[in-house]
Structure 1
Amino acid sequence: MANGPDRCFHCKDELFTRISTELVGKLGLTAVAYGENADDAVRPDRPGARAATEHAVLRPLADAALTKVEVRQVARAFELRCADKPAAPCLASRIPHFQEVTPAKLAAVEAAEAAVRALGFTDCRVRHHGEVARVELLVDELPEP
């Protein structure tokens, strides 16, 4: 709820802690991996990556130097349904740092994004700014003037 710049660290730390304590032994896992790719690995604004490092979580896509575009190409080659799935970052990322994350704000963002997608836009973000929302759309999906 505090929503500082390191919010993703705390979330991923909790996730990887739970996986380690609840699933690794139960499922007999020898390693845990997540989907960081080469594009993600070079971005300095990804505190969740620090949690992955602290929990020794593997990054096979980044280690293979696969970019987001290349990951999608591989997924298409294997005819995976997720090949063209839009990115789905956490809804809390739509709320500016240091503004409290609440269930009501998250629900409002989720509902607004669903409404925009219902209009035919495939990828969008609705940023919550109190009484104002900022809608981000792909330029390619905007109608020509």
Structure 2
Amino acid sequence: MDWAGLGVIIIGLAMLGLVFLLVKPLKSLTKVLANLQNTTNDLPNQMTEIMTGLKNTLSSANEAIRQLNEQFGKIAPIFQIIGNIGTSLQNLFRVMANINEEMRQKTDNPMMEHYHLEGIYGVMALGYSIYQRRKTKK
């Protein structure tokens, strides 16, 4: 035998020793891959269950939103009435302010300003104007 043959035999023996060293880790790797296969086999069923649960949850949420929309539709006229009342009160206060300002300009009494009677005088003027309107309607 020559040196090349001896080199090939030594490399072969080294490879055989390497195979004996790697048998145990390769068996462990085989077990891990088998367990991974078992886990991934259950994955489609788990995804189906998750998707079904999600679908049910979304359906419940849609039903709740639909019920809220119906209830808000029933309450909407109340908000419109409240808005109309606010507008009416705003107009009433504007009229009261105008009447108060007109009476203040007409009287220009320093005693009113001294005793802060402008508000009382304005309410009295509003009462008088309402009395006059009722009188004209009859």
Q: TM-score range by the shorter chain?
A: under 0.3
Q: TM-score, normalised by structure 2?
A: 0.19
Quick check: which one's helix share is greater? 2
Quick check: which one's strand share is greater? 1
Q: TM-score, normalised by structure 1?
A: 0.19
